[in-house]
């Protein structure tokens, strides 16, 4: 296994959408994903979304989908919409590789924090984020880490 992490390309969007569906299944809401590949392409083409992917021999096995946004209290930030590693590739350090690249991207963009959400029952993710120094606001279950 030789994992590489890179910025996504437009042609990766179909696989990214499949990973998002995989995440929805994990979160017990597979029917909640109604966005189409056309929606993804339109968002990509307009610059609304961006992604990082992890590959194993050119096969995409994980992704982080994110976008720039603005906090009225803090300023420019990056919002992490979805972060998923294929089930067969979990617990191999791939999530950490994507996570680290995401924060490097946020710094390159001049963001002062990254914000996202985590389900309260996803104990593995909560432990990972806490280990990485993120702040988990449990009353809202919003997550942020200042850069």
Tell me the catalytic residues.
Answer: 129
Nearest-angstrom CA–CA distance, 88 and 62? 10
Q: Which residues make Cβ contacts (< 8 Å) with residue 8, sequence separation at least 6?
A: 16, 50, 51, 52, 53, 63
C-alpha to C-alpha distance for 34 and 137, rounded to whole angstroms: 28
Cα–Cα distance between 119 and 50 in angstroms, integer?
23
């Amino acid at each position: 296994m030789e994992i590489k992490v890179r910025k996504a390309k437009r042609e990766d969007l179909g696989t990214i959408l499949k990973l998002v569906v995989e995440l929805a299944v994990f979160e017990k809401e597979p029917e909640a994903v109604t966005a189409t590949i056309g929606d993804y392409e339109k968002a990509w083409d307009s610059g609304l979304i961006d992604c990082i992917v992890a590959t194993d021999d050119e096969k995409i096995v994980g992704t982080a989908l994110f976008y720039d946004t603005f906090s009225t209290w803090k300023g420019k930030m990056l919002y992490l919409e979805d972060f998923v590693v294929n089930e067969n590739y979990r617990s191999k350090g791939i999530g950490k590789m994507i996570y680290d690249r995401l924060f490097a991207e946020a710094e390159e963009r001049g963001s002062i924090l990254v914000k996202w959400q985590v389900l309260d029952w996803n104990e593995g993710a909560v432990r990972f984020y806490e280990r990485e120094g993120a702040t988990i606001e449990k009353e809202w279950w919003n997550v942020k880490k200042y850069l």
